[in-house]
Structure 1
Amino acid sequence: MSKHHRYSGLNDAQVAESRRVNGMNILTPPEKEPVWKKFLEKFSDPLIIILMVAGVLSVAISIYEYAVLNEGFKVFFEPIGIFLAIILATGLGFYFEQKADREFAILNQVNDDVPVQVIRNGLTIEIPKRDVVTGDIVLLNTGEEIPADGQLLEAVSLNVDESTLTGEPVAHKTTNPDDFDPDATFASDHVMRGTKIMEGHGVMKVLAVGDNTENGKVFVAAQIDDSVKTPLNEQLEGLGRLISIVSYAFAVLIVAGRTVMYFTNPAIEFEWVHFLAYFLQTIMIAVTLVVVSVPEGLPMAVTLSLAYSMRRMLKTNNLVRKMHACETMGATTVICTDKTGTLTQNQMQVSDTCFYGLEGQKLGASLLAHTIAEGIAVNSTAQLDLSSKDHPVALGNPTEGALLLWLHSQGIDYLKLKESVVLVDELPFTTERKYMATMIDNECGKRVVYVKGAPEIVAALCSVFPEGVTRSSIDSSLMGYQNQAMRTLGFACAEIPSGNNVDLKDMSSLGDALHFLGIVAIADPVRPDVPQAVDEVLAAGINVKIVTGDTPATAREIGRQIGLWNENDTDRNIITGTEFAGLSDDELRERVGDLKIIARARPMDKKRLVEALQSNNEVVAVTGDGTNDAPALKAAHVGLSMGDGTSVAKEASDITIVDNSFTSIGRAVMWGRSLYRNIQRFILFQMTVNVAASFIVLAGAFMGMQSPLTVTQMLWVNLIMDTFAAMALATLPPSESVMHEAPRSRTAFIINRPMGWMIVSVGLMFFFFLFGLMWYFQHTALDSLTDMWRATFIVENKGFSSYELSMFFTIFVFLQFWNLFNAKAFATGRSALHFKGCSEFVMIAGFILAGQIAIVELGREFFNVVPLNFTDWLIIIGGTSVVLWAGELYRLFGCKRKNA
């Protein structure tokens, strides 16, 4: 550090005043939501609300039946079942999210007690980072994290890793205005809190602390919950509205129809007391229909599906923190991703070497090879952490570290080479010179100067070139590397004759001794799995947009390597952060669909991009690992942080990609789409049953027919339709075929046309069959189904015998049982009997089958049943299986028509 400057810093009074005005250097932690509030939020689900209304109405009916009609306590089983469904649905969701919160540990938190060197009262002292104030003079050294935002007063070979804010691993900092980078995200003489000094040292004056720093602004923005509605929430709200409208319409129809029947029946003489009793009974029937039409198992099915997927997705390296994110990934239409660490490995590596005379060879034992290896080893400020021999880690400047890693991969011990020479002089790298030099005495007693830097600058210093190598050939090689967005370094050396005096600051003192050795190209390589993963999500109809702090050329080349950027793309598909900021909101919404790359992006650019896409009705997922990504992660429908990302990024995200792989994002999309399909299957199953049940109640209301199912029987039916069916369909495995479909529209209704047709047609077929069966049983006397064709018809309504009730109950259950298999096969293009990966489904189906047999054979008075003979069991199970075989024929011929 220069000794020409002496700083006094702040005095104690100035420190106190600065802290009073500008606050302490800490980030205000996010306010945690109370646990009770999180639990109550689960009751805001639209279907839960409808279910609670249905529960209250069911309680009213039960109280009337218990107090007025003198029926037993069993009338309360129905409302108890409804409220149990509510508690299970809300409780399961709350439990799994709380469990994920506990599992999701923030891997790193800001340490406010790290010591920082500052100058105060004319003295250099150490204070905790939390005590740094605006106006402080701070000393900066290699390896330290910058404690606050500030302006540099001095900078010596200062390079800063700004990847957590901009994605740029090396940003050169200087106080010389002539060397400022006009395209830099942050001014070249400014340094930011949370970034790290990779090499060099300096002095800065603090301009902002705590929440007022760029890091703090990002942290605060990440806490803002935009409460973006998920596509599933919107679609379930639509379903809730439809159910409410239809059920209320049916209820009004019952009230109106039965009232008209009362006044038009000539056999009834009007009496107020009689009419009020009749009208109250009508209201009870209408309310019963409303309760029957509500799919109380749907919230539980959604919760079970989400919870199951949440656990299984962890096996595909997706740690889900917010349950809704499982499904929302399936609706994603755009993925906004950063470059460094997500698409690339975030580790600079030697991509190609062009040492003339050693082309395509490993460094061997030749004199030239030794010279190159020695030059790289001694003319470097980086080090290697070799504590893990299989995975050495570069320390210091990433570019120089890449050279040492390359030497290590060649089997060369850089430390041994370094220790075998005597260091005579060094010339550090500066942006003015664009090269560095080291003079050594090697073990042969020779004095050698090694030079490394920008190839065009190093070549201009050289007098001797390998045979056949010219400046134009060097320029041609450089152009090829630069077109691939690689960083290039040129190497040269000179042997100094004994007695010659050399000043490294004046390269002309070397005379004609400097030999040009060659060029090395260094890049942050694309992760091997990324091109295929990007191709997969593009094929799934999902757009990908890169947001990076890198230069447009580098970003464009990465886009080309991963298959995103192609020859048809133009300047309309790429934009810089400065140009992006210059667009009005309307201009951005008009252009955002065409953008593929935003280069030189600032921290809040990605958040603005997300909001612009959302305003265009896109479902947006955001990937990121840096603090700069946190606002966008929070604002997106789904935020995906990387496993080795910053704690701020993880806190703002919904899912953490444990292995940092873009491939895992594709797996998350597949799980999300499959999960949504499973929810549709449950809706298809349960709404079919509800349609049949609602029409039975409606028809019975006008015909005065006795209900064939008791309360306890309906409790078992609801258990099948709700809990067991939800578990069975929630555990169906994901299908890769969903990745060949376009993303669904977020405005689409959750019941699509094929579902709607099946719900209405199958529901009505069940109704006509069951209604006909009810009517037949009430006008015949049957002891077995084998007597159906010989039974004597009875004109008057005789009601149901115990055996007939048992048969009707069993037939009703097995119709739903076989229809569960049809629901399983919905939209798969496969047979319902395809059970690969469906062991849980088979187990639950087996339990339903065994449960129904046990209840009929052993339930007796509690379930109002009597045992059936073996022949009737065979007839019922075989006869109702027509539901499955009809579905199989429909799928078989439907697929043939589709493929024709």
Structure 2
Amino acid sequence: MDVFCCKLQLLLREINELQKVNKNKMSGDELRARNTAEKLSMTDVAHHHKTLAEKLSAVSRLTIRSKKPSLEFGISLKQLRELMEERRTDAIAKIDTYGGVLELCNKLSTAPTSGVRNDPVEIKTRQKIYGKNEIPPKASKSFWMLAWEALQDIVLFFLLASSLISLILWLVDHYSAAEKPSNAVGPEDEDHGWIDSVAIFGCVAIVVLISAFNDWSKERQFQGLQKRVEGNHVFAVIRDGKSMDVNVFDIVVGDICQVKYGDLIPADGILIASNDLQIDESSLTGESDHVKKTPKTDPMVLAGTHVMEGSGKIVITAVGVNSQSGIILTLLGATDSGDPKAKEKQKSNVSKKSSAQNASEAEAGGKSVLQAKLAILALRIGYFGMVSSGITVLVMFIQFCVRRYIIDKQDWHNEHLSKFVEFIITGITILVVAVPEGLPLAVTLALAYSVKKMLKDNNLVRHLSACETMGNATAICSDKTGTLTTNRMTVVRVYINGAVQPNIPKLGELPSKITDIIQEAIPLNCAFTSRVETAGTSTGSKPQQIGNKTECALLGFILEMGGDYEKTRKIYPENSFTHVYTFNSVRKSMSSVIPLPEKRGWRLFCKGASEIIMNKCSWVLLKNGELSQLTSAFQNQIMTQVIEPMAEDALRTITIAYKDFVFGSAAKNEENISEEPTWSNENNIISDLTCICIVGIEDPVRPEVPDAIKKVQRAGITVRMVTGDNVNTARSIATKCGILKPGDGGIILEGKDFNARVRDNAGEVQQNLLDQVWPSLRVLARSSPTDKYILVKGIIDSDISEGREVVAVTGDGTNDGPALKKADVGFAMGIAGTDVAKEASDIILTDDNFTSIVKAVMWGRNVYDSIAKFLQFQLTVTMVAVVVAMVGACVYNTSPLKAVQMLWVNLIMDTLASLALATELPTEDLLLRKPYGRTASLISPIMLQNIVLHSTYQCVIILLILFLAPMMLNMDDGTKKDEPSSHLTMVFNSFVIMTLFSEINARKIHGERNVFKGIFRNAIFYSIWIGTLVGQVIIIQWGGRVFFTYALTPDQWLYCAMFGFSTLLWGQVACSVPGSVGKAVMRNLNKIFRKKKPAVAQT
């Protein structure tokens, strides 16, 4: 005691002297004082005197606060990079050359227990010297690069080439007219012959620029989404002696990071301490086996690897581009930029990583179900366009040649070549309209818009294809805790002191033998990152639970009894623990070993699932702390009278137990030892335990969940609950949620029973056995992540359904990764989920709530509907444009719709319509129908019926105007002259106005009559609609020769408006046609196109 007091007195004197030192310099004395403070064990302090421990803690904080020197580091960035390239024994030898890990911390001006100072100036200094913890993103394409890529469209290229040839021919004719007056064209043609070509150039430029702008804005939006995903990642570090969460981008060299099960390592570091730490380094090395990390065998921990077991503490030594993964990614980026030196370097240094990344990119490049369907549809539409344009050009060629060379017997003139080029331009323009370039844009816009909006509905989408895939989901395998329940856990019932207590007892009501041990068993066997904060909460508010919610419930139990878990943790800090068996899905328990006072031995504390821990108990503490042997009969009694009633009331049951290993004489529930036990022999260590108590933890069902489950069930989606909880607890929760209903034939199985049913005698999973189980399975209790994976894979691989099942899965644990990856859509928990689970997921639920999954289903179906709406609109316009152009070309040897006009229609149809129809908001009506199915056509029978009826009606109206308007409306026949006329302008204007009203009709694709429902909820739609109408008015009234239009009179505008509005009335007629008509047409078309069935890519 006196020696300790002397040490403390000397330390205080040293601190007082340090305070007099100039604050702008950091002396060696200060470093020594700081290290001296950290070397004083808090455990030794506790054994001497409590108040001295508190003083020492205050002194340590004073040291940190008093230090504001200019940083001087004893190791360079280059040396750290070289150090992190070493592995295992070579790494340990290299660390020893710097004096060991503690001396390395000194050189980095940090300390294992206090970390760096949380001072913005110091953080920026470290970032300046050692770099920031971020990988600069690959340079995005510039706007002009995107414009150049848009110009690579082969159809646009041919259109420009043809226009250029036409312009050259006009120039030749124009300048040869004086020499050959007989072959010269008219004066008006001489003045304006070049306008068509230039107008086409201008329209193509507009189309290209708008396309480039859409791509540019889309890329920026996706970059913002990626930053959002990365920006949500925080990590636990120690700064100023306090544990805190910081954004991974703010981690600096010298930070002391606390790594735990499920973490994604944010930067390279060296291990200071570890508890059974195992890391998955496959992302860097390709090795699938987990690597055990200890400071003495393999201390190097690398960024991008995953903690699969245990916990530890590391000092960060390399961040960002200087980390090993950062170096690899930088080399990959340099390769993309065309740096030949970097390519050679990459070949020699980055073989495994690059192959892994390439595989990942190849997988990411695969088409989703929707994209595969669209590719097939676009191919068929493209064939139709090619055939139509080819026939049109051929007919115009033949008709021109027959009329000029056979009937009129004319000789060849240069102007005839211009006419042939004009025919080709007409054909290419028809192809431009027919080829559905807007389909990819519509998909991209729908997904981009949905992803942005889904953020507000607590869905952070990591993979775009997951958004549309959710629209076809037929099954959801959901976790219980946090997803279906509130994840606000509290102990409401306890078996202690030999009886189930009606209320939580106070410490004074229990024997000291029980209270003394339970005040150690719970605080010391919960992760120190789990805590309950009551300070600062307002009156009537609940304490804040931080960390694992089950552990928070147990710590809250201690507080409610009147205990102080923080006091216990100060006496036994984490670094005094001998061994820790961290919780995982296999153990379903956690155990910690601490040394007993006076070196009498060790004490093990254990907590976990009641059935599992009770099977490992041989003793139980009864009334007044009396020790009783736990016989099989007594254990069965506890199971039936304590654990099962709690579970049936939807309580999660946790057993708290302990065991002592002592030297010398031992009590009957203690194990006598002669030397330190082999802690790696887990089965022998965690046996013959003594049960202290059994607690029942309540985690209420979220009030909104039962209604949400009803909605998805009504939408044709089966909900299954997969949980690690007791079967009775699971049954109770599933019944409350509505997953299990009386009389629906749903069954509940435990993991062991499930495996017995789906495995053969050799222990192998058989699909035919799974097919007998999964259709009726509703709850899988006491299951492992492997059980979840088997179930998900079995449902996906099954062929007993009419179409393949589309499965969504939720997960929060590290071992849920395989199931999340296997699922069509994997949902990770944003709050309770581990980094590994988030990496494996497609969507992160930022609120861990099942109702957010329902929103994802709605958005997924909305994406499908948005594409379908666009298809209905585009195919209608395409059919009308192609038919009118073909008929006009065949009858008049020229298209009534000129090339520039067709390009304007193409702009309306592709770019503007895709933007307008892809941005509709979802409604709950989407949940009133079954999923479309993976194999269902994008064009439903009702849509096909609408397309045929609307296109037929519009073709009839426009052809009537084309053939009868001159006679009925007393106007000149525009087909007989090569100048803008009110006749052909009315044809063009009526077509566009009907197209605009057809866009309104296209908002409904399931036979709904009210096409205006919700129209004012979509400002983008009506803004584009009005903008397009204004643009059409400008083109008609002032387009002139450029758009080949003639200003219309008010009466003529009235006729056009009437024709357009009649499209809405015709829509009501179309709704009255029986759906059987569309089905019959669909059957016939399927027979025509049914060749070899194309493979649909899996999402």
TM-score (normalised: structure 1): 0.68
Residue 881 (structure 1) aligns with: 1061
Q: Are positions 1:812 and 2:991 aligned together?
A: yes
Deviation, structure 1 residue 550? 6.5
Deviation, structure 1 residue 802? 3.3
Deviation, structure 1 residue 604? 11
Which of 789, 792, 803 in structure 2 is aligned with 1:606?
A: 789
Q: Are positions 1:59 and 2:199 aligned together?
A: no
What do residues 123-165 of structure 1 show as CA deviations (whole Å, max 9, x unaligned)? xxxxx98557xxxxx9755xxx725589xxxxxxxxxxxxxx9
Question: Take 1:232 and 1:752, find their aligned partners in 2: how far apart are those partners?
Answer: 14
For residues 341 and 271 of structure 1, do their structure 2 counterparts lie closer, same or farther at Cα, with a shift above 3 Å needed?
Answer: farther
Kept in 2, the 8 Å contact 1:318–1:658? The answer is yes
Q: Are positions 1:536 and 2:711 aligned together?
A: yes
For residues 844 and 63 of structure 1, do their structure 2 counterparts lie closer, same or farther at Cα, with a shift above 3 Å needed?
Answer: same
For residues 321 and 340 of structure 1, do their structure 2 counterparts lie closer, same or farther at Cα, with a shift above 3 Å needed?
Answer: same
Kept in 1, the 8 Å contact 2:796–2:807? The answer is yes
Q: Are positions 1:619 and 2:806 aligned together?
A: yes
For residues 221 and 377 of structure 1, do their structure 2 counterparts lie closer, same or farther at Cα, with a shift above 3 Å needed?
Answer: farther
Kept in 1, the 8 Å contact 2:458–2:852? The answer is yes
Which of 696, 715, 736 in structure 1 is aligned with 2:884?
A: 696
For residues 631 and 41 of structure 1, do their structure 2 counterparts lie closer, same or farther at Cα, with a shift above 3 Å needed?
Answer: farther
What pairs with 1:814-829 in structure 2 (closer than 5 Å)? 814-827=993-1006, 829=1008
Deviation, structure 1 residue 711? 4.6
Structure 1 window deviating more from structure 2 (276-285 vs 698-707): it is 276-285
Question: Take 1:41 and 1:602, find their aligned partners in 2: how far apart are those partners?
Answer: 47
Question: Take 2:205 and 2:886, find their aligned partners in 1: how far apart are those partners?
Answer: 24
Question: Take 2:466 and 2:961, find their aligned partners in 1: how far apart are those partners?
Answer: 46
Which of 843, 847, 868 in structure 2 is aligned with 1:659?
A: 847
Question: Take 1:685 and 1:13, find their aligned partners in 2: how far apart are those partners?
Answer: 62
Question: Take 1:411 and 1:609, find their aligned partners in 2: how far apart are those partners?
Answer: 43
Q: Aligned letter for 2:454?
A: M
Question: Take 1:236 and 1:505, find their aligned partners in 2: how far apart are those partners?
Answer: 75
RMSD of the alignment, in Å?
Answer: 5.8
Which of 377, 385, 392 in structure 1 is aligned with 2:531?
A: 385
Deviation, structure 1 residue 683? 1.4
What pairs with 1:737-886 in structure 2 (closer than 5 Å)? 737-777=925-965, 779-780=966-967, 788=968, 791=970, 797=976, 802-827=981-1006, 829-835=1008-1014, 837-860=1017-1040, 862-886=1042-1066
Deviation, structure 1 residue 739? 1.5
Alignment partner of 2:156: what SS? helix
Kept in 2, the 8 Å contact 1:487–1:521? The answer is yes
For residues 577 and 396 of structure 1, do their structure 2 counterparts lie closer, same or farther at Cα, with a shift above 3 Å needed?
Answer: farther
Which of 421, 444, 452 in structure 2 is aligned with 1:303?
A: 444
Alignment partner of 1:486: what SS? strand
Residue 229 (structure 1) aligns with: 367
Q: Aligned letter for 2:856?
A: A
Question: Take 1:533 and 1:78, find their aligned partners in 2: how far apart are those partners?
Answer: 49
Which of 94, 108, 111 in structure 1 is aligned with 2:219?
A: 94
For residues 475 and 86 of structure 1, do their structure 2 counterparts lie closer, same or farther at Cα, with a shift above 3 Å needed?
Answer: closer
Kept in 1, the 8 Å contact 2:393–2:424? The answer is yes
Q: Are positions 1:405 and 2:567 aligned together?
A: no
TM-score (normalised: structure 2): 0.57
Kept in 2, the 8 Å contact 1:461–1:507? The answer is no
Kept in 1, the 8 Å contact 2:974–2:983? The answer is no
Task: Name the structure, 1 or 2, with higher relative contact order (CA <8 Å, separation 6+).
Answer: 1
Kept in 2, the 8 Å contact 1:52–1:83? The answer is no
Kept in 2, the 8 Å contact 1:113–1:129? The answer is no
Residue 646 (structure 2) aligns with: 481
For residues 353 and 97 of structure 1, do their structure 2 counterparts lie closer, same or farther at Cα, with a shift above 3 Å needed?
Answer: same
What do residues 16-51 of structure 1 show as CA deviations (whole Å, max 9, x unaligned)? 39999xxxxxxxx999995569999999x9xx89x9
Kept in 2, the 8 Å contact 1:341–1:625? The answer is no
Which of 476, 482, 493 in structure 2 is aligned with 1:352?
A: 493
Structure 1 window deviating more from structure 2 (285-294 vs 668-677): it is 285-294
Residue 195 (structure 1) aligns with: 309
Structure 1 window deviating more from structure 2 (685-694 vs 551-560): it is 551-560
Deviation, structure 1 residue 668? 0.9
Question: Take 2:421 and 2:695, find their aligned partners in 1: how far apart are those partners?
Answer: 90
More helix as a share of residues? 2
Structure 1 window deviating more from structure 2 (758-767 vs 705-714): it is 705-714
Residue 639 (structure 1) aligns with: 826
For residues 241 and 611 of structure 1, do their structure 2 counterparts lie closer, same or farther at Cα, with a shift above 3 Å needed?
Answer: farther
Which of 461, 471, 486 in structure 2 is aligned with 1:320?
A: 461
Question: Take 2:606 and 2:791, find their aligned partners in 1: how far apart are those partners?
Answer: 45
What do residues 519-574 of structure 1 show as CA deviations (whole Å, max 9, x unaligned)? 63236665554444444333322344556666777767765664445654568993
Q: Are positions 1:721 and 2:909 aligned together?
A: yes
Q: Are positions 1:71 and 2:194 aligned together?
A: yes
Q: Are positions 1:146 and 2:277 aligned together?
A: yes
Deviation, structure 1 residue 99? 2.1
For residues 315 and 620 of structure 1, do their structure 2 counterparts lie closer, same or farther at Cα, with a shift above 3 Å needed?
Answer: same
For residues 680 and 652 of structure 1, do their structure 2 counterparts lie closer, same or farther at Cα, with a shift above 3 Å needed?
Answer: same
For residues 878 and 751 of structure 1, do their structure 2 counterparts lie closer, same or farther at Cα, with a shift above 3 Å needed?
Answer: same
Kept in 2, the 8 Å contact 1:97–1:323? The answer is no
Deviation, structure 1 residue 626? 3.4
Q: Aligned letter for 1:628?
A: N
Q: Aligned letter for 1:667?
A: K
What do residues 145-186 of structure 1 show as CA deviations (whole Å, max 9, x unaligned)? 725589xxxxxxxxxxxxxx9xxxxxxxxxxxxxxxxxxxxx
What do residues 260-318 of structure 1 show as CA deviations (whole Å, max 9, x unaligned)? 65787762669899998887665554333222212333333322222221221111011
Q: Aligned letter for 2:1053?
A: W
Which of 317, 332, 335 in structure 1 is aligned with 2:473?
A: 332
Structure 1 window deviating more from structure 2 (268-277 vs 96-105): it is 268-277
Unaligned 5+ residue runs, structure 2?
1-85, 95-132, 171-192, 236-247, 259-266, 282-287, 289-305, 313-323, 326-351, 572-578, 582-586, 595-604, 627-632, 659-664, 671-690, 1079-1099
Alignment partner of 1:319: what SS? strand
Alignment partner of 1:352: what SS? strand
Deviation, structure 1 residue 660? 1.5
For residues 15 and 604 of structure 1, do their structure 2 counterparts lie closer, same or farther at Cα, with a shift above 3 Å needed?
Answer: farther
Question: Take 1:336 and 1:851, find their aligned partners in 2: how far apart are those partners?
Answer: 51
Q: Aligned letter for 1:479?
A: E
Question: Take 1:669 and 1:795, find their aligned partners in 2: how far apart are those partners?
Answer: 53
What pairs with 1:127-526 in structure 2 (closer than 5 Å)? 140=274, 146=277, 148=279, 193-196=307-310, 224=360, 226-227=363-364, 228-254=366-392, 257=395, 267=407, 283-338=424-479, 342-343=483-484, 349-353=490-494, 360-361=502-503, 367=509, 377=519, 380-382=522-524, 385-389=531-535, 390=537, 392=543, 401-406=552-557, 408=559, 412=562, 414=564, 462=622, 474-477=638-641, 478-481=643-646, 486-489=652-655, 505-506=667-668, 520-522=695-697
Question: Take 1:517 and 1:308, find their aligned partners in 2: how far apart are those partners?
Answer: 55
What do residues 797-843 of structure 1 show as CA deviations (whole Å, max 9, x unaligned)? 46776333443333222111111111113327351222352343233
For residues 704 and 335 of structure 1, do their structure 2 counterparts lie closer, same or farther at Cα, with a shift above 3 Å needed?
Answer: same
For residues 584 and 504 of structure 1, do their structure 2 counterparts lie closer, same or farther at Cα, with a shift above 3 Å needed?
Answer: closer
Kept in 2, the 8 Å contact 1:731–1:841? The answer is yes
Residue 764 (structure 2) aligns with: 583
Percent of pairs with identical residues = 29
